[in-house]
Amino acid sequence: MEKENYYQQLKGIVKPYLPEDVTVDDISPDSHFINELNINSANLVDIVLDVEDAFDITLENDDMDQMQTVSDAMAIIDKKRSSK
Amino acid sequence: MGHRVVITGLGICAPNGVGLPDFTKSLKEGLTGISFHQELKDLNFGCQVAGKPQLTSEYINRYFTSLQLRGLNASGLVYGVIAGTDAWTDAGLSKAEEDEPDWDSGIIFGTGILGVDKFRESIHLVDEGNTKRLGSTSVIQTMASGISAYLGGILGSGNQVTTNSSACTTGTEGVIMAYDRIRSGKAKRILTGSCSDSGPYVWGGFDAMRILPRNNNNNPATASKPLSASASGFVPGSGAGALVLESLESAMQRGAKIYAEVLGGAVNSGGQRGGGSMTAPNSLSVQRCIKMALENSGIESKDIEAVNGHLTATGKDPVEVLNWSLALKRSGADFPYLNSFKGIMGHGLAAAGSMECVAAVLQFKEGQIFGNPNIEDLHPEIEKLVHKSRIPAKTINFRPETIAKASFGFGDVNACVIFKTFKD
């Protein structure tokens, strides 16, 4: 249940960064932020900051490098939340 | 002979009016854009009055996407985008298609320093060891060329996209740069203009130099007194002005409305020699700049019917008027009509030249010379050079054929542009 909440919350965070031709319905757990959702790589930095704020966690540079897909982000959030 | 260059669009985001209708009304009626700022009082500024465009967040939202609005904290950028996109729309031009830029259109949009508030925000984060939290927008909001980059992206410009910077000369210099590029055939259209942030971090340095008025905090409407004996410093301002310059062929082809022709202009520097310094102009170089502008435009000094000066309301105004008089070899009742818009606008710094060029050009459309509302005591040195009747306090009905506009800036830099009513 919590996982589904994270997922919905994450979709909400990603939504404003989507280009005009991609909608929130195009997001799936496997979506690659840059290659599939066409998110500007500069904006990935902002998504990370929004994730930190929303989930009250801190992401390190390594975490950011690993965060390529939506499910990568979910796994990192889950790990950080459970170690809190 | 190169291409003739005309002005087909204007945009304005000024303390005394956002959008052409409000701005024009202010100029016609002498309505001030200068107000008291509690923030400046709280920070112990000597000068607590300033000019700042009045904008609601609703208004700003019309010009930026929700993504662009996130973390947006760069007032000059906001003013520049509003004035720039408005000028483009006013010219009847549209944004480039999604797949290909408009190769014939460029942007020369200047500033002095951009995104000062964003930079302050960033400095705090960096000092706290929190660099990562800067996000992706601190660079694009604080790089000087952020303004031309934003406008370039919004409009899809494929020609030169750049930002010029020459202190208070910036806006007028930009018009001349745009003119040169179109005249030589390197572009068909250039959106030119300039912007300046508002707020204590921009204005503080000038307050420290003691060149802002300290005794008019209770009377904001009359605090800025260009050409007056009682002038005691310039009132700091902010905002943006924008003009679309276009080759005559392109304008005719589109059937665009034409506000005026840019006949020519000149830029130079006094080299901080011969009485010139970092902050004061070399008078000979100012005169030379004006004379070169006439020559470049192929007109004689008798053709000039109106002058819009730099005239900031410091003790240097009489020197500027003397320079105009010597350069044009005209004085007394023979002097062209003379005005300064800084009485109601304040000194917009890097934005001054473009906001004032927009105002100067509107005089053709309105068939008027806009007044100098704050002159109660014309400076006696100026009255010796120019007959009072040539410096109207109130707007007068007179349709000028040719207007000279000049701006001067720190670093001893000068720019003078000549506008003419358009005749085929």
Please state the three-class secondary structure of B269-336 as a single string: ECCCCCCCCCCCCCHHHHHHHHHHHHHHHCCCHHHCCEEECCCCCCCCHHHHHHHHHHHHCCCECCCC
pLDDT in tens, B272-294: 999 999 999 999 999 999 999 99
**Structure ipTM:** 0.86
pLDDT in tens, A18-62: 998 899 999 999 999 999 999 999 999 999 999 999 999 999 888
* Partners of residue B9 on adjacent β-strands: B244
Buried b (16+ CB within 10 A) or exposed e, B84-100: bbbbbebbebeebeeee
Question: B66 and B88 share a domain?
Answer: yes
- Please give the share of chain B, as a percent, with pLDDT higher than 70: 100
CA distance B299 to B294: 5
pLDDT in tens, B100-110: 999 999 999 99
Domain ranges of chain A: 2-82
Question: B249 and B268 share a domain?
Answer: no
Question: B147 and B276 share a domain?
Answer: no
Q: Is the pLDDT of residue B392 over 80?
A: yes
Q: Among B254, B286, B315, where does a domain finish?
A: B254
Q: Which residues of A touch B132 (CB under 8 A)?
A: 49
Question: B222 and B274 share a domain?
Answer: no
The answer to whether A23 and A11 have CB atoms below 8 angstroms apart is no
Q: Give the total number of structural domains in chain B.
A: 2
Q: Could you tell me if residue B120 is inside a domain?
A: yes
Question: B99 and B214 share a domain?
Answer: yes
Per DSSP, the residues of B236-253 read B--EEEEEEEEEHHHHHH
pLDDT in tens, B51-75: 999 999 999 999 999 899 999 999 9
Q: Could you tell me if residue B59 is inside a domain?
A: yes
pLDDT in tens, B350-364: 999 999 999 999 999
Q: Could you tell me if residue B259 is inside a domain?
A: no
Q: Among B226, B254, B282, where does a domain finish?
A: B254
The answer to whether B334 and B223 have CB atoms below 8 angstroms apart is no
Q: Is the pLDDT of residue A84 over 80?
A: no
Question: What DSSP state is assigned to residue B19?
Answer: S
Question: B165 and B290 share a domain?
Answer: no
Q: Could you tell me if residue B362 is inside a domain?
A: yes
Q: Is the pLDDT of residue A1 over 70?
A: no
Distance, first Cα to last Cα, chain A:
19
Burial of B186 (0-12, 13-18, 19+ CB in 10 A): middle
Question: B130 and B275 share a domain?
Answer: no
Q: Which residues of B touch A43 (CB under 8 A)?
A: 67, 136
Q: Which residues of A touch B70 (CB under 8 A)?
A: 16, 46
Q: Which of B136, B141, B143 to mutate to test binding with chain A, by most A CBs within 10 Å of its CB?
A: B136
Question: B344 and B245 share a domain?
Answer: no
Q: Could you tell me if residue B199 is inside a domain?
A: yes
pLDDT in tens, B300-322: 999 999 999 999 999 999 999 99
- Segment B174-194 mean pLDDT: 98
Measured in residues, chain B has a length of 424
Q: Which residues of A touch B136 (CB under 8 A)?
A: 42-43, 45-46
User: Are A45 and B135 in contact (CB < 8 Å)?
Assistant: yes
CA distance A28 to A17: 15
Boundaries of domain holding B364: 264-420
The answer to whether B233 and B389 have CB atoms below 8 angstroms apart is no
Nearest to B421 by CA among B283, B200, B262: B262
pLDDT in tens, B120-167: 999 999 999 999 899 999 999 999 999 999 999 999 999 999 999 999
The pTM for the full model equals: 0.96
* CB neighbourhood size of B46 (10 A): 14
Question: B332 and B366 share a domain?
Answer: yes
Interface contact A33, partner B, CB < 8 A: no
Nearest to B192 by CA among B266, B107, B103: B107
Domain A2-82 fold:
1.10.1200
Q: What is the CATH number of the domain that holds B65?
A: 3.40.47.10
Q: To the nearest whole number, what is the mean pLDDT of chain B?
A: 97
- Segment A8-12 mean pLDDT: 94
Interface contact A46, partner B, CB < 8 A: yes
| Tokens matching residue B130 | 């929190």
CA distance A73 to B344: 54
